[in-house]
C-alpha cells in the first residue's frame, strides 16, 4: 500500500468542504480498536458526534485490508439503512 500512496495535495488541506453530510443523513462508522494512526477514542468521538451506527473491529488502521468482510458488512448495512 505504501508504494501506491501519493503525497496529500495542497487543495486537500486548504479547500473548504462545505456542510457536512452527517448532519442531515444517517451515518455508519467502523472503529478500528487497534488503530495507531487515528486513536479509537477519536474515532468514537467522531461517530458519536455524527450519531452514527457504530461497529467496532479489533483491527489496525488498515481495517479494509485486514477485515474486508467486516467492512463490507458495515457498507451493506449503510446501503440498506439498517443497523445490527
Q: Is the residue at 15 inside a domain?
A: no
Q: Is the residue at 14 inside a domain?
A: no
Q: Is the residue at 58 inside a domain?
A: yes
Is the pLDDT assigned to residue 6 strictly greater than 90?
A: no
Q: Is the residue at 51 inside a domain?
A: yes
pLDDT tens digits, 22-66? 888 999 999 999 999 999 999 999 999 999 999 999 999 999 999
Q: CB-based burial of residue 32 (10 Å sphere; 0-12 exposed, 13-18 middle, 19+ buried)?
A: buried
CA distance 70 to 33: 13
Q: How confident is the model at residue 68 (pLDDT cuts 50, 70, 90)?
A: very high
Q: Is the residue at 38 inside a domain?
A: yes
Q: Is the residue at 16 inside a domain?
A: no
* Number of domains making up the chain: 1
The pLDDT score that the predictor gives to residue 47 is: 96
The pLDDT score that the predictor gives to residue 63 is: 96
The pLDDT score that the predictor gives to residue 84 is: 62
pTM of the model: 0.76
Domain of residue 58, residue span: 22-80
Amino acid at each position: 500500500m505504501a508504494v501506491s500512496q501519493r503525497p496529500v495535495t495542497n487543495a486537500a488541506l486548504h479547500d473548504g468542504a462545505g456542510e457536512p453530510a452527517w448532519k442531515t443523513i444517517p451515518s455508519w462508522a467502523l472503529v478500528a480498536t487497534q488503530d495507531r494512526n487515528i486513536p479509537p477514542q477519536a474515532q468514537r468521538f467522531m461517530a458519536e458526534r455524527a450519531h452514527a451506527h457504530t461497529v467496532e473491529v479489533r483491527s489496525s488502521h488498515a481495517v479494509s485490508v485486514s477485515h474486508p468482510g467486516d467492512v463490507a458488512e458495515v457498507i451493506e448495512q449503510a446501503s440498506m439503512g439498517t443497523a445490527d
